Structure formats: structure tokens, C-alpha cells
Amino acid sequence: MDLQQQYELEKLFKTKLHQAMRFYLETCTHCGLCVDSCHVYNSMPELRYTAVGRSEVVRKIFIKYFKMQGKIAPWLGETMEMDEFVLDKFYEAAFSCTGCRRCMVHCPFGIDTQQIMSIAKLLLVGADKEPKILSMLSDMSINKGEQVEESRAQYAEAIKNIEPEVEAIWPTPPGKKTIPLEVEHADVLYVALSGKHSIISAAAIFNAADINWTLSSFEAVNFGAFLGDPQRTKKIGNRIIAEATRLKVKTVAIVECGTAFRIMKQQFGKLPFEVVTFVELIAKYHQEGKIKLNKVMTEKVTYHDPCQIARNAGVYEAPRYILNQLSDDFVDMIPNREENWCCGGGGGLVAAGDFEFRMKSSKVKADQMKKTGATVVATACENCHSQLHDVCGYYNTNQHVEFISHLAAQGLAK
């Protein structure tokens, strides 16, 4: 690596050095309390998979380039020079971390390893060493925003084609569209994913509750956040913000996708609309008497708290409330809520990660699910759903994974 590139990466590193980040980088006492918190380390006990172990290489670069000690006495052994070896270490650390922040809960200083890993991810982008599939997916989302008008008519046709599947669950109220598009002043803009499964159950629930809603033209997922590129993250999120602002909606409801929800809720500052995750709306509609739910579930059900909805955004009770309307046999995983084990697929690992690693690093998750005795694992995140589905198969847990919205739609009653 030449000096120019080192300089460019140092500049990028500096963009991340806000007050909290300096605290995270300067405060670690190597007490080791975070070691057992990480599902990766618990499943594959190697020091490089601990929170403190992952952060070390970032810290050494920080000391080398941004601390006096690194400038005057780098031979003390606490520093490393930015080079290809360091970038390889960044990759290994950042893309084996799901950004679940379970370690942060156990660190006495609240050190956020996911934030430290965001430095490694940004520098990998700067060095053109990021997982190419994630930058491609991010750029695809950005391009989609730029050419959305070109596909509008065909998208409307595709949406029309799935309406019978919504009506099979719940009849559309008279005078209403089954899946409304482009409705100005709607109470809710629902931002789904590309798949029809992410639209059908939600549409049935909105229609059962007789809500004035409209479907977004975009997918909620923010690949820029998985990639760790703040500029792409912003551009992807801004597509939805522009649409919601243009349509003057009151609420943006994000499909069951943890990262999409947390990023929109927490990283775009004050917005002219409220941001909720769809499961919160289902619970609210039930509590307000707008929908009724029958106890249709006959199997024992448990719930996986998606890290980005639960621990990192505080939504714990709404999904449990819904499951308790649908079942008399709900059991929590141990541990749960803030302490729940990550599914092992976050941080872009489902799209970019190596399958064997994803499975091996989720052994602790498979054990936790099996211990519940439930045959249904409900969750509220597409990424968790995909990962847990794979984990159930890999470890033969004899469980199936279901979305809360799908279960709720099945339980809709007159």
C-alpha cells in the first residue's frame, strides 16, 4: 500500500472519530466481560471472534495515526501500520460480526463494537476491498431510486396480480383498493421488500383494520448499512423519505426487516412522519379494536427478538402481545429481549457471508431454540427468518420459522 492510499484511509478513519467513537477506542480495559457475550465466540471459541479481539486491530490503527503514543513511540507494540494485512484483518473482524451489540450490553463502559466495526467496514469500502455483492446491492437500490418512474406501470400490474392472494385472506372493504399505490395523505406508507410474501399478509391486515394506507415503490432494506457506507446508506434511505414526504403520509411502517427499521428510525434525524415497525401497528390495531385475532395456532410457539428491532430499537412487547392473541402456548426463549442471542445472519452476512460460517457461528442459537420445545419460531425480520430457517435445517431442530405478520393474517377474525 502506498503512502497516498494510507493517507486517504487515515482521512476516512478520521470521519468516524466523533466523541463517542473516541470513547469506545480509548476506554477498553481488556476486562474480558464481553467475551462470552458474542454468539460467534460462544459457538466457535477463538479469541478473534470476541468483541475485544475484533476491535484490537482497529484500536492499534487508531493509536498509530491519532494518538501521541503512536506518533512518538510506535515501537511499544500497541500500534499497527495501515497495510494490506490490516485490511485483511479488518475484513475478518467486521464480516464475522453481525453488529448485534449483545457485547455492548455486557461491557461496563457500554463500548459499541458494532460502531468500531463500522470503521473497519468504511475503510474496506475506501480501499475497494468490501464484499462486492453488498456494494452491488447498494448501487442497485440507488439506481432503482433513479429510474423508478420507468417501471411504475409494470409495478402496478405486478401488484394487481397479487391482489387475489390478499382477498383470499380478507375481503377488501367496499370502495377501497386492495393494494393502494401512490395515495396522497395516506395515514400509513407501508415499505415492503421485493417478495410478495412481505406485501400480502400486511395488505390483509391493513384492509381488515380499514386503514387508509399505501404501498411504497421501494424495498425497505438498506444494503448501504450492511456495507457500512454512510453515503450509500443515506441515498437508499432518502428514496423512502422523499416518497413519504411527497405523499404527505403520517406514518412510515417498515416491513419485518430489522436493519431497515432501525436505520430509518435512528439514523435520519427528525423526520416529518412517524417511523414504526409493522408489528407495532398490528398490536396497536388489535388494542384499538380495529382487528380481531383468533387463537388459531395449535403448535407451541416461541419468539426470536431480532437484534435491530429489540435490543437496538427497544421493540420487545408488541410481537409477544400478538403471539399471545394467536396462541395459548407461547414460550419465551432463554435468554430473551435485550439478552437474546443473535440469529447469526445480521450485518449483511446472509447476503455476503459464507454459509458454513453462518451455520457454525449459530450453534448457540440452535441450542437456545431447541430448548424451548416449541415447533414454531416466530420472528419479525426477513434476515433473521432466512438465517433461522437455515439454522433449523442445519441443526435438525424440527422447527419452522414464521413471520409475525403471516401468523397474524392467518388469525384475522370477523
Partner 1 sequence: MADYTAVKTFDYKGLPCPMPIVKMSQEISRIAVGEVGEVLSTDPGSIADFPAWAKTTGHQVLDIVQEPGLIKIYVKRVK
How far is residue 70's CA from residue 75's CA, in Å, rounded to a whole number? 8
Give the H or E element holding residue 402.
strand 400-403
| Contact call for residue 231 and partner 1 (CB under 8 A) | no
Q: How far is the CB of 81 from partner 1 (least distance, A)?
A: 35
Would you state the cell numbers that stand for residue 25, as one nine-digit string?
Answer: 477506542
Give the H or E element holding residue 189.
strand 188-191
Q: Is 305 left (phi over 0), alpha (psi -120 to 50) or beta?
A: beta
Q: Coil, helix or strand for 369?
A: helix
Query: 29 contacts which partner out of ligand SF4, partner 1, none, CB within 5 to 8 A by kind?
Result: ligand SF4
> Which residues make Cβ contacts (< 8 Å) with residue 222, sequence separation at least 6?
141, 233, 236, 237, 259, 260, 263, 264
Mark out the alpha helices in 129-229 (DSSP H runs): 132-146, 148-167, 197-208, 223-227
Q: How far is the CB of 27 from ligand SF4 (least distance, A)?
A: 7
| Contact call for residue 351 and partner 1 (CB under 8 A) | yes
| Contact call for residue 147 and partner 1 (CB under 8 A) | yes
Q: 427478538: which residue's cell?
A: 305
- Residue of 16, 64, 101, 304 that binds ligand SF4 (CB under 6 A): 101
Amino acid identity for residue 210 in this structure: D
| Contact call for residue 52 and ligand SF4 (CB under 6 A) | yes
398 phi and psi angles, rounded to 5 deg: 60, 40
**How many Cβ atoms are within 10 Å of 46's Cβ, its own excluded?**
10
Q: How far is the CB of 238 from ligand SF4 (least distance, A)?
A: 27
Q: Is the peptide bond before 335 cis (omega within 30 degrees of 0)?
A: yes
- Residue of 37, 42, 207, 277 that binds ligand SF4 (CB under 6 A): 37
145 phi and psi angles, rounded to 5 deg: -60, -35
- Residue of 9, 16, 43, 54 that binds ligand SF4 (CB under 6 A): 54
Query: 144 contacts which partner out of partner 1, ligand SF4, none, CB within 5 to 8 A by kind?
Result: partner 1
What is the per-residue binding string for ligand SF4 in 319-358, x denoting contact by CB under 6 A?
A: -----------------------x----------------
| Contact call for residue 267 and ligand SF4 (CB under 6 A) | no
| Contact call for residue 400 and partner 1 (CB under 8 A) | no
Rule CB under 6 A: which residues touch ligand SF4? Answer: 28-34, 37-38, 40, 51-52, 54, 97-103, 107, 109, 111, 113-114, 342
Rule CB under 8 A: which residues touch partner 1? Answer: 133, 136-137, 139-141, 143-144, 147-148, 150-151, 154-155, 157-159, 161-162, 164, 192-199, 217, 219, 221, 223, 257, 351, 382, 385-386
